[in-house]
A and B are shown apart, each in its own frame.
Chain A
Amino acid sequence: MDLAPVIDGFGVVLEPTNLLYCLIGVVIGMLIGVLPGLGPAATIAILLPVTFGIEPVTAIIMLSGIFYGAQYGGTITSVLLRLPGEASSVVTVFDGHALARQGKAGTALGIAAIGSFVGGTVSIIVLSLVAPLVASFALDFGPPEYTALALLGILLVSTVSSGDRLKAVIAACVGLLLATVGRDGFTGAERFTFGNLQLADGLDFVPIAMGLFGLGEILYNLEERHRSVQAPAVVANVWPSRADLRQSSGAIGRGSVIGFLLGILPGGGATLASLAAYAVEKKRAKHPERFGQGAVEGVAAPETANNAAATSSFIPLLTLGIPANATMAVIFGALLIQGVSPGPQLVTQEPELFWGVVNSMYIGNILLLIMSIPLVGLFVRILRVRATVLAPITVLITLIGVYTVNNSVFDIMLVIVFGALGYLMKKLGFDPGPLVLAFVLGSLLEDSLRRSLLIFDGDPTQFFTRPISGVLLVVFLLVALLPPVRAALRRRRAATRTPDTTPKELV
């Protein structure tokens, strides 16, 4: 493997500006993870306008810092308050909070920090080895492969999205339709613009992302009744003991592997990884009853896994140009705005960007580890800030921020429209993530599909004649059709079973 670009990447990372933005990203990420309400996707969306004034490398370094920083921030509230700050920290609640109640909050937080660091670092190392291979493999991809890949990616993200699968796919379809608005690249015809000049060039990604994730989330939270309020927590002992570390080492190791593998899978991600790692640890433990009562492995495993997964979920984006989850979709958009098109050629054509971002993750993880414990006190104080005060500030940042992108009041209107849409979607059970993902992939999907049909002379079955697209499409069909078929069979079985059971009850 040619090490020169990797070394150059470190050179890029160690530039003062990039170090600064890495720090900013990680701190903001932790803050967001701590504060209930906004998540990393929403925050990255709201900060998109900031990325305009800075270099692509710097921007992505900051945005990625936000993402994996948030995984750790969510842990703090899970442990101290039994409140998962992020979906990927739900499992940490069980043993983490149990430890806190035993006065060992510091142990839990320390183990989580160390596990996150190890998981993240292992993931980066494997990423550095695997990513160039995947990218070179994908260089042979043609339109049929991209069609299948985009379809599969959209489907997988919809499948594992929070909430109803059917609704998620509907959201994705809406996203695909939104992507068609504007001028058709092939024929030049104007589609769905209703004569509006502003729409002629298509919908801009930034207002959509900021509206759906940012404003939508804030509006949705307005309906929340008050949660119970807790007294400030005191974090006493700060580091785990050597025995704790030794006990968790296996969990950390396994968590890293599980996290890395599940993170690459589109739709997998940090949440699934943390669940799987916890379940695995509990199953293979000699005394599974300890789990839920303060077993350190119960904290180490999910925390390691979620950071490993957060890191490896960059791989499909950076090597194939396919975002693996909603946050990656927003970062995809950020790259597009900067004029960088993610894809297999990124590794070879923009090595400074690629390796700069990848290597920044080492630094980011180190920063996370160093800062996590000292800053806990600060974060607990941050938790006292009321959402009612943060909300209007975030709204104004979004409204004014979107204006700075194109100096266009129309963009503000767009962001409000999509804010309303985002609220409605969340309220009615539609996950906005697949919509954004499908939107960013929409042009790619349609282009590839049309080119493929031209290549195949109109015969769609030829997709299956090519090995890669064939395999991907088969997987696509399986993932698409199996679960609803299974669910329907299960329902029929349950319906036919009940007449059998009643005679037994009568007896």
Chain B
Amino acid sequence: MTSAPQGSTGPGSHDGSPAGATAAGTAQPAAGGAPAPEMDLAEAIHQVEAEEQEVRPPAAGPLSNVLVAVAVIVLGVAALVGSSALGLGSARSPDSGTFPLLVSALLVLLGLGLVAAARRTEDAERFTGASWLVAAGLATMVGFVAVIGVIGFEIPAALLAFVWLRFLGHESWRSSVLISLGVVAAFYLVFVVALSVPIPHLF
């Protein structure tokens, strides 16, 4: 639960201040200082990147990686089937489906390669509780586009902004309402009044 911002314990205070050491100060000895001179460039860069990784969800397991690879293969196969329906032609006289065929075949091959590498892959992230935030965000966008034709952009935009501010961003009720209204007003002034964009609007 405790964590120190990178600069909170300066280089001098690591040593000999038992009462004042923040818990994370010992975990990351170089966090408050420059990379040690002996650390070479690649390691130093890895350290900076690792700090970026800290705020992201953890890596996904091999099963997820296999699933992703399978999805790629399925996409490739689907495109393969689609291309053959378009007419494969030949090298001498390429047809509509020739190029898509080549690309989808390559896609299937690469997907198989992904399956083979699934155990070693570490750059995919796990879906966590935070991923529901993303789902909610997408839902607000879908809601926005669903009703914009009917009731104009003002209300969906205000609602979207409010949901993002209050529920996804944990801003206070007061701020969320005020900022949402302000944003919609600004958009109205810019797009409807100033630029006369023919966007569906209610007011």
- What is the interface of chain A, defined by CB distance below 8 A to chain B? 81-82, 84, 90-91, 93-95, 97-98, 101, 163-164, 166-167, 169-170, 173-174, 176-177, 180, 184, 186-187, 189, 191-192, 215, 218-220, 222-230, 275, 278-279, 282, 289, 291-294, 386, 388-389, 391-393, 395-396, 399-400, 403-404, 407, 409, 412-413, 416, 419-420, 423, 427-429, 446, 449-450, 453-454, 457-460
Can you report 13 residue pairs joining A to B where beta carbons are below 8 Å apart? A91-B41, A94-B44, A173-B106, A191-B96, A215-B141, A223-B133, A230-B6, A279-B41, A392-B169, A396-B157, A412-B145, A453-B92, A453-B94
CB contacts under 8 Å to A, within B107-124, are 107, 110-111, 113-114, 117, 121, 123-124
CA distance A209 to B103 in the complex (A): 21
Nearest 9 A/B pairs, CB to CB: A388-B169, A458-B92, A228-B5, A429-B123, A392-B164, A458-B91, A223-B130, A392-B161, A189-B96
A residues in contact with B99, CB < 8 Å: 176, 180, 446, 449-450
Is B170 touching A388 in the complex (CB atoms < 8 A)?
yes
How far apart are B133's CB and chain A's nearest CB, in angstroms?
5
B165 at the interface (CB under 8 A from A): yes
Is A173 touching B103 in the complex (CB atoms < 8 A)?
yes
CA distance A169 to B117 in the complex (A): 15
A404 and B199 contact, Cβ closer than 8 Å, known pairs A191-B96, A289-B37, A459-B91: yes
| A interface majority secondary structure | helix
Is A228 touching B100 in the complex (CB atoms < 8 A)?
no
Is A409 touching B145 in the complex (CB atoms < 8 A)?
yes
CA distance A192 to B179 in the complex (A): 42
B residues in contact with A191, CB < 8 Å: 82, 86, 96-97, 100
**CB nearest to A451 among chain B residues:** B94
How far apart are A270's CB and chain B's nearest CB, in angstroms?
15
A residues in contact with B95, CB < 8 Å: 187
When the two chains form the complex, which single residue of A82, A173, A177, A389 contacts B6, counting CB atoms closer than 8 Å?
Answer: A82
When the two chains form the complex, which single residue of A222, A275, A400 contacts B133, counting CB atoms closer than 8 Å?
Answer: A222
Is A450 touching B6 in the complex (CB atoms < 8 A)?
no
B35 at the interface (CB under 8 A from A): yes
A90 and B96 contact, Cβ closer than 8 Å, known pairs A164-B121, A391-B169, A429-B123: no
B residues in contact with A163, CB < 8 Å: 123
B residues in contact with A403, CB < 8 Å: 197, 199
B183 at the interface (CB under 8 A from A): yes
CA distance A291 to B142 in the complex (A): 51
Is A219 touching B7 in the complex (CB atoms < 8 A)?
no
B residues in contact with A98, CB < 8 Å: 34
Is B165 touching A453 in the complex (CB atoms < 8 A)?
no
- What is the interface of chain B, defined by CB distance below 8 A to chain A? 3-8, 10-11, 34-37, 39, 41, 44-45, 48-49, 54-57, 60, 68, 72, 75-76, 79, 82, 86-87, 90-100, 103-104, 106-107, 110-111, 113-114, 117, 121, 123-125, 127-128, 130-131, 133-134, 137-138, 141-142, 144-145, 148-149, 153, 157, 160-161, 164-165, 168-171, 179-180, 183, 187, 191, 195, 197-199
A residues in contact with B48, CB < 8 Å: 84, 90, 93
Is A419 touching B94 in the complex (CB atoms < 8 A)?
no
CA distance A49 to B111 in the complex (A): 35
B residues in contact with A169, CB < 8 Å: 110
Is B7 touching A82 in the complex (CB atoms < 8 A)?
yes
**CB nearest to B130 among chain A residues:** A223
Is A395 touching B87 in the complex (CB atoms < 8 A)?
no
Is B103 touching A177 in the complex (CB atoms < 8 A)?
yes
CA distance A69 to B183 in the complex (A): 27
B residues in contact with A393, CB < 8 Å: 161, 183
B residues in contact with A95, CB < 8 Å: 34
A427 and B55 contact, Cβ closer than 8 Å, known pairs A94-B35, A388-B168: no
CA distance A170 to B115 in the complex (A): 13
A residues in contact with B49, CB < 8 Å: 90
How far apart are B167's CB and chain A's nearest CB, in angstroms?
10
A residues in contact with B45, CB < 8 Å: 90-91, 275
How far apart are A184's CB and chain B's nearest CB, in angstroms?
4
When the two chains form the complex, which single residue of A97, A389, A450, A460 contacts B169, counting CB atoms closer than 8 Å?
Answer: A389
Is A416 touching B171 in the complex (CB atoms < 8 A)?
no
**CB nearest to B180 among chain A residues:** A392
CA distance A425 to B91 in the complex (A): 33
Is B86 touching A224 in the complex (CB atoms < 8 A)?
no
